[in-house]
Structure formats: C-alpha cells, structure tokens
Chains A and B, each alone.
Chain A
Amino acid sequence: MHEARLCLSLIRLAEEVLAREGGRSILRVELEVGELSGVAPEALAAAFPICAHGTPAQGAALNWRAAPGRGLMLRALEVE
C-alpha cells in the first residue's frame, strides 16, 4: 500500500532531475529494487501511470531490475 507514496517520491525526484538536466519529457524510468527493500515493484508500476498523470513523466515506461539488499533507487532516466 505504500507504493503509491513511493511513486510520488519517484516522480518528484524525476521532475527535479529533468528540470536540472533540461528536457521536455521523461520517456523511461529505470529503477533498482532491493530484494529486501519491502517494496513490490509490480505495485509501484501499477501506481505509476496514475501518479505520473499530468507530469512530464506521463506515458513514460517503467523498467526495474532486482538487486540484493534493502535499497530502492532511481538508476536512470531517458528524457527528450
């Protein structure tokens, strides 16, 4: 249930990066999800389109890869 809130953090962070680096929109978001993070990437992905609506991340693809440990990281953005 906490994934929606994390998703909002993700979009806020992505927007900050976009503003800093310059670009119109976000095409892809790449995450790294720790196996011991307690975060379900499927739930994040389900929340993503709703949280991204009306932001530069609207319509962006969300990719994730599993990693050891407890982290939840925004690895990279693909922007235009």
Chain B
Amino acid sequence: MCGTCGCGSSEEHAADASHRAGEVTSRRIEVEQSLLAENDLGAERLRKRLEAQGVEAIGLTGGPGAGKTTLLEATFRRLGEAVQAEAVIEGDCAGDLDARRIAACGARVTQVATGGLCHLDAHLVGHALERLELDGVSRLWIENVGNLVCPAPFPCGESRRALLISTPEGDDKPAKYPALVAAVDLLVITKTDLLPHLEFDTRRCIAEARRVKPGLPALLVSARSGEGMDAWLEWVGTGGL
C-alpha cells in the first residue's frame, strides 16, 4: 500500500505529488544509488577478511524444513576427522536447536537467534564471527534463517550460496520464489528418497530455476539415503561443478 495516500500504486498519487511540488520552488536531483550498497559492502568486506584467513564461506538458504541442517550433518559425517576444519553460523528466529545438532557433529558453531528477523545479513554475521574461533578452520557455513524470500538481497560474506528445495515443498518453488533463485550458485533438491511418494517433477523444478538463472547447476540429494552426496561434496570441495 502506498504510504502517501493508501492508494496501492505509485502512479495514482504521482499527480498529487507533482501538484504539491509545483506549489514551491522544487528541483530534482538524480541520485542513482543502490539501497543495498551498505550490506553489499559489508558482505564484501567479510568475504575478503575470511579469504585472508584462508576460510571460504558457503551460504545455505531454503525454506524452513528444507533440510539445511540435516545436509550439514550428513556432510560432516562424511568428512570424518576433517570436520574440525568446519565452522557453522546457524541463523534461526529463536533457540539453539540447530547449533546443538551441529556441535554434536564436532564442528564449531555459533547460533544467531535473530529474534524474529527473517534473514541474516552482513552485520549479524560480522557479530557472530566475534564469537567463533576460526584458527584451523577452512570452511565457514552460513545457514540462513529458513525463508525463501528475505535472504535474497542480503549477501553475508559467502563466496557461494546454495538453495535447498525439498521434494515435499513442491517442484513449483523456483517459479514462485525467483528472487532467491537469482541470488544463488547451486540448486539442491533434497529428500529425494521421498520422490516415490510425491508428485515432484525434478526436471520441471530445475527447468523453472534455470528460466530464472540460466545454467544454474542442480543436484539431487538425499541426506538419508546418501544419494547425490558425492556430487554435493565435490561441489563443496572443488569450488564448483
């Protein structure tokens, strides 16, 4: 809804504003500056700082229950002793359930309880890093708040971002939430062990995602059965597919 007159569109009150502007000596200033620049700059600073410490940050995004923490657990199980070089920032609105799960895997973790805020941003991640000892860490996972909308315009210092969509959520998610698709480097379709029980068309899901972001790599993964975990670990470890 429009904040000026409640009309709901920008055109309806444009005339009203011009009228008001016409009553006084007004002038127009071209600005052309991004409102996202503040966070973008903070994220870029974080990314460079981490890089200088030999740490690559990977972002995990997806709706609540997409399997972000479960995929991390499965990843860490596969790493064995090397899990000690992994660190995680867990973002959730409340509680530390995910941080406990990650700590049980042997990775370093800090939880950010956003208090209802719908996404992490560079500022929150910067403060979370104050609580995380990164000596001996080579990879930092930034698990965003479960949300298919709000993380999109707020990079947090990641060098790569993955979007997880689980099969029970439906194959139409990339078409419905294009902004997040446009903001990631990999699509992971999770819980593929459930495919026999669902009407989820993996090809449709991937095609919709690539309509938004042509060439977006996609993986089919089940943390439970282990399907696709090799390809996932390859993406994680090699810097791309």
Instruction: Say whether A associates with B.
Output: yes
Residues in chain A within 8 A of chain B (CB atoms): 1-2, 6, 9-10, 13-14, 17, 21, 23, 27-28, 31, 35-39, 41-42, 45-49, 61-65, 70-80
* Contact-residue bracket for chain B: 35 or more
Which B residues touch A28, using CB under 8 A? Answer: 17, 21
* Inter-chain contact B26/A80, CB cutoff 8 Å: yes
Is B33 positioned at the interface, with any CB of A under 8 Å from its CB?
yes
Is B141 positioned at the interface, with any CB of A under 8 Å from its CB?
no
* Inter-chain contact A63/B35, CB cutoff 8 Å: no
Instruction: Among B17, B117, B151, B183, point to the contact of A27 (Cβ < 8 A).
Output: B17
* Inter-chain contact B182/A70, CB cutoff 8 Å: yes
In the complex, identify which listed stretch (B7-15, B101-109, B164-172, B191-199) lies at the interface while the others stay far away: B7-15
- Known: A38-B180, A80-B24; 4 extra A-B contacts, CB below 8 A, are A37-B153, A37-B179, A38-B149, A61-B16
Is B74 positioned at the interface, with any CB of A under 8 Å from its CB?
no
Check A61/B13 contact, CB under 8 A, given A42-B8, A72-B36: yes
- Among B149-201, those with CB < 8 Å from A are 149-154, 178-180, 182-183
5 pairs, A vs B, C-beta closer than 8 Å? A17-B31, A42-B2, A61-B13, A74-B34, A77-B29
Report A69 CB to chain B, min CB distance, Å: 8
Q: Determine chain B's interface SS by DSSP, over half rule.
A: loop
The CA-CA distance from A17 to B151 in the complex, in Å, is 28
* Inter-chain contact A38/B183, CB cutoff 8 Å: yes
Nearest residue, chain B, Cβ from A1: B118
* Inter-chain contact B17/A10, CB cutoff 8 Å: no
Is B239 positioned at the interface, with any CB of A under 8 Å from its CB?
no
Interface Cβ pair total, 8 Å cutoff: 127
Check A78/B21 contact, CB under 8 A, given A46-B1, A47-B3, A72-B34: yes
Which A residues touch B179, using CB under 8 A? Answer: 36-38, 70
Residues in chain B within 8 A of chain A (CB atoms): 1-4, 8, 10, 13-14, 16-17, 20-21, 24-36, 38, 116-119, 149-154, 178-180, 182-183, 212
* Inter-chain contact B31/A75, CB cutoff 8 Å: yes
* Inter-chain contact B119/A62, CB cutoff 8 Å: no
* Inter-chain contact A63/B14, CB cutoff 8 Å: yes
The CA-CA distance from A10 to B17 in the complex, in Å, is 19
Nearest residue, chain A, Cβ from B177: A38
Instruction: Among A42, A63, A65, A77, point to the contact of B31 (Cβ < 8 A).
Output: A77
* Inter-chain contact B10/A74, CB cutoff 8 Å: no
Which A residues touch B2, using CB under 8 A? Answer: 42, 45, 62
